[in-house]
Amino acid sequence: MIKEIKKGNKMEKDFGKNIERLIENIKVDYSKWMTSPEMVERFNEGVKVSFGRKYTKVMNGSSVWGFIANGDGVLKGIPYKKGDVFKAASWRGPAKHQRGSIFDSGTNWFAWTGPRYL
């Protein structure tokens, strides 16, 4: 379980739980694509999160999968909500438009390679 998120309030617990669900769905998507158990295990071990001030960075090995907004805000003139997911523009920051939300029940807005293009 993601320990850095636990602060006692329900929204924070839901946020952490939904990040975990996203990570699991990324791993499931990869296992559909790759049939080698060794490669799937290596991929699964490489998927990690790093918590920042504004965004949570989702990484696979040394690559950035995407960013998750830690709170409401504005990015390059476009408002976003807590839990919105962005493609990576660089190692340090997200691209302009949100691609989905960790609070969405569907998984059609991302793949194991990252959030889908608009």
Q: Note the pLDDT tens digit of each residue in 54-105.
A: 999 999 989 999 999 999 999 989 999 999 999 999 999 999 999 999 998 8
User: What domain range is 43 assigned to?
Assistant: 10-107
- Is 16 part of a structural domain of the chain? yes
- Is 76 part of a structural domain of the chain? yes
- Is 4 part of a structural domain of the chain? no
Length of the chain in terms of residues written:
118
- Is 91 part of a structural domain of the chain? yes
Asked if 17 contacts 6 with a C-beta cutoff of 8 angstroms, the reply is no
- Is 116 part of a structural domain of the chain? no
Q: What's the confidence (pLDDT) of residue 102? A: 94
pTM of the model: 0.85
- Is 30 part of a structural domain of the chain? yes
3-state SS, residue 111: strand
Per-residue pLDDT reduced to its tens digit, 7-65:
445 556 789 999 999 999 999 999 999 989 999 999 999 999 999 999 999 999 899 99
Q: How many domains does the chain have?
A: 1
- Is 3 part of a structural domain of the chain? no
- Half-sphere exposure of 34 toward its Cβ, with a 13 Å CA cutoff? 18
- Is 80 part of a structural domain of the chain? yes
